Amino acid sequence: MTKLNVLLLLALIASALLLVKTAYDARLLFTNIHRAEVEAVRLDGEHKRLEADRQLQATNLRVERTARERLKMRTASPAVTMYESPADSAGPAPSAAVGATP
């Protein structure tokens, strides 16, 4: 009878230790989930801030100002625009080529 009692006591202690370990693991997992949720909220806020910053940086006025200041570009006007006619860019006519026979 005492052997049975000792065996049952060992089973009870093992069960209690397993219960404590399981509860600890559950708390640890809950803490990790909470940290991940907080990090997700932080990253979402940072993403929204970066999107707003990107939209601010990509406005037409800012792009034009940056092109003028950093790249020394200027806006195109009719005074500085050169136009080519289609005849000028086509090259020599086939009949005017060297060695052509009529």
- Residues whose CB is less than 8 angstroms from the CB of residue 53 and which lie 6 or more positions away in sequence, other chains included: none
Q: What residue type is 46 in one-letter code?
A: E
Q: How far apart are CA 24 and CA 101, in angstroms?
A: 97
Name the amino acid, one letter, at 90.
A
Break the chain into its structural domains and give their ranges.
Answer: 2-71
Q: Which residue in the block uniquely carries the two structure tokens 């509860």?
A: 23
Q: What are the pLDDT digits (tens) for 21-48?
A: 999 999 999 999 999 999 999 999 999 9
Q: What is the mean pLDDT of residues 5-28?
A: 98
Of all residues in the chain, what percent carry a pLDDT higher than 90? 53
User: H helices within the chain, ranges in order?
Assistant: 2-57, 60-69, 86-89
Locate all alpha helices (DSSP H) within 58-100, ordered by sequence. 60-69, 86-89
* pLDDT higher at 72 or 38: 38
CB 100 within 8 A of CB 94: yes
Taking the model in full, what pTM does it have? 0.51
102 has pLDDT over 70 = no
- Residue bearing tokens 């009878």: 1
